[in-house]
Chain A
Amino acid sequence: MTAQTRGSARPNQWLRNLNAKIASIPMILTAVVIFVGGTAWTVLYSFTNSKLLPRLSFVGFDQYERLWEAPRWIVSIQNLAVFGFFSLIFSLVIGFVLAALMDQKIRFENTFRTIMLYPFALSFIVTGLVWQWLLNPQYGIQSIMRSLGWEGFSFDPLYNSDIVIYGILIAALWQGTGLVMCLMLAGLRGIDEDIWKAARVDGISMWKTYVLIIIPMMRGVFITTLVIIASGIVKVYDLVVAQTSGGPGIASEVPAKYVYDYMFLAQNLGQGFAASTMMLVTVAIIIVPWAYLEFGGGRKRG
């Protein structure tokens, strides 16, 4: 063997595949600097008493204590809990029922889907403003009902502190259920037709097939949808700003708005950081168990 030495040495590992590494620089910067670095920075500064400018003067958990004593934060959290609970339940139930209806080999499926999904293309600002108008007690649904002879009808969520969050919920459901329906429909379509045939041969009624066979098979779709809705709920901000600006009073405040107001309007950065860290914790509580279930088994994607 007259082997030449050329090329026999393993080339420098750093230079190999150099183009791919260059192409990944934006991703690496985003992941490391913004996502990891930015998050760590915010968490770190949430333990300081930064006001107008971030300052590294630590005050322990002061900001968090103040946060949990602030009525506005408590209202925000309560609103988030109510809004989150009902929008999860309603979007999953409505989304699934609509998807099941759409899956009945119906005609005009495309038309129905187009109608149900178009609000999702609209921004939260547009959604919020439309529903602000529809729920206007003077001209909107309430006045229509009254003019139809139902004098005592009262539905003015945007002006009633007790139910304002449900007004926002209606708008949010209008905007988002189409998406959930589409996800569920994709899940239903992913189920083997033979399952239906088998259930039919066995004489199992339709709704029993759904409850006992189809829904358990769609576990993955449900969980994914749940995570998508849930992480969207935590971020809800624009909708509230447009529809109620947090009012009446502070009745429809949400955490995301609390953060923004303290960071950019009240110039109390420490409070803002502490509140945003709480949001992070909330998301982590949702995401970590899911990520563990989904990817924890060491299953890797090729």
Chain B
Amino acid sequence: MTSVSVKDLSLNFGAVTVLDKLNLDIDHGEFLVLLGSSGCGKSTLLNCIAGLLDVSDGQIFIHDRNVTWEEPKDRGIGMVFQSYALYPQMTVEKNLSFGLQVARVPQAEIDKRVKRAAEILQIQPLLRRKPSELSGGQRQRVAIGRALVRDVDVFLFDEPLSNLDAKLRSELRVEIKRLHQSLKNTMIYVTHDQIEALTLADRIAVMKSGVIQQLADPMTIYNAPENLFVAGFIGSPSMNFFRGEVDARDGRSFVRADGVAFDVSAYPARTKLQPGRKVVLGVRPEHVKVDEAREGETVHQAVVDIEEPMGADNLLWLKLAGQSMSVRIAGQRRYPPGSTVRLSFDTAVASIFDAASENRL
């Protein structure tokens, strides 16, 4: 059963098209993350769903009800903002109850809901305080509480953790996940942070220029990106790309790039890789082995350029096939700059894209 459904949604600001005939179905109880860099239209889409922006064309359904032209308050949504957007002159308690008072909910019911939300988020001791007396993390908790008291099935999050420092961000991330597990309601979550997306989402919609590039579960997004953009956007450091040509010899397939031939026989191609086709081979840094080649594997020699030890991992930057690439190895294995290494590629988990269409092959 779909909870939120977006049909052929378009939005123009004057001559600028921000969203163009966008379709998206979100299941009941699903945690969907809209992921993209700034200006990709993800927040715009969220604001359209919330009713804070008038759409130019298309329709929005929430619980099978057409809400395209409903007021935000009538859509059955709660929303959490990046800047928390707490009313500065009101106490936490007033902040939580403001919407209910506007809707003329009986006072007893308001008290009950506020109490419940405060319990869930553990903000009971803060109820009498003003937002200015709270820390960033506490503020965001209150902001979530404001969505909670509305007793709605759809939560919209607009980059809720972006204003917090790294430590708090990871703490609240876990809390949001726990909240979703206990409430089991639909959550639509906008972020530009891929870690948040990968850890929280049931499904991720990667967006670029107002178009959803790929909609899939996090593992699929990470391991089998649908196109070159998604492949490059997800993962840090980003996937290594080699532009080249398909070649076949002795029943094996190769991608030949600047004099280096990568054996891609193990790659589960959707269609047969035609020799001569221009392609881009993508290999994640952790899918390259250093000095661990098995018998019969193709081995490439390279010289370490820079070493970036990061504790758990160690990142090597080297040059291969005329371009810079990165390799992730275990933290205790050290290779000072200048050392020569033997690389072998796990092409079964690599990605190959058509050079022209940039789509996965």
Contact = CB atoms under 8 A, between A and B. Distances in A.
Chains A and B touch each other in the complex, with CB atoms below 8 Å apart: yes
B61 A11 contact: no
Given A3-B65, A8-B69, A16-B54, 9 more contacts: A1-B64, A2-B64, A3-B64, A4-B65, A4-B66, A5-B66, A6-B66, A7-B70, A9-B69
A10 interface: yes
Contact of A8 (B5, B54, B68): B68
A interface, how many residues as a size bin? 10 to 19
A6 B5 CA distance: 16
Nearest to B55: A10
Contacts of B70: 7
Interface in B107-140: none
B5 A11 contact: no
B67 interface: yes
A234 B112 CA distance: 66
Nearest to B59: A8
Nearest to A16: B54
Contact of B69 (A1, A2, A4, A7): A7
Contacts of B61: 1, 3
Given A1-B61, A1-B64, A3-B64, A10 B5 contact: no
A134 to B, nearest CB: 50
A271 B68 CA distance: 59
A3 B65 CA distance: 6
A11 B67 CA distance: 12
- Which among A5, A6, A16 has the highest number of chain B CB atoms within 10 Å? A6
Interface of A: 1-11, 16
Nearest to A13: B54
Contacts of B66: 3-8
B65 A11 contact: no
Contacts of A2: 64
Interface residues of B, number: 12
Contacts of B69: 7-11
B67 to A, nearest CB: 6
B67 A7 contact: yes
A9 B68 CA distance: 8
A16 B70 CA distance: 11
Contacts of A7: 65-70
Nearest to A5: B66
A91 to B, nearest CB: 40
Nearest to A2: B64
Interface in B54-82: 54, 59, 61, 64-70
A7 B54 CA distance: 13
The 7 closest A-B pairs by CB, nearest first: A8-B66, A7-B66, A7-B69, A2-B64, A3-B66, A11-B69, A7-B70
Nearest to B25: A1
A3 B66 CA distance: 6
20 contacts: A1-B61, A2-B64, A3-B59, A3-B61, A3-B64, A3-B65, A3-B66, A4-B64, A4-B65, A6-B66, A7-B66, A7-B67, A7-B68, A7-B69, A7-B70, A8-B66, A8-B69, A10-B69, A11-B69, A16-B54
Contacts of B54: 16
A11 B66 CA distance: 13
B65 to A, nearest CB: 6
A5 B59 CA distance: 11
- Which among A1, A2, A5, A16 has the highest number of chain B CB atoms within 10 Å? A1
A287 B64 CA distance: 56
A49 to B, nearest CB: 48
Interface in B233-274: none
Interface in B1-55: 2, 5, 54
Nearest to A11: B69
Nearest to B67: A7
A21 to B, nearest CB: 15
A201 to B, nearest CB: 33
A6 B66 CA distance: 7
B54 to A, nearest CB: 8
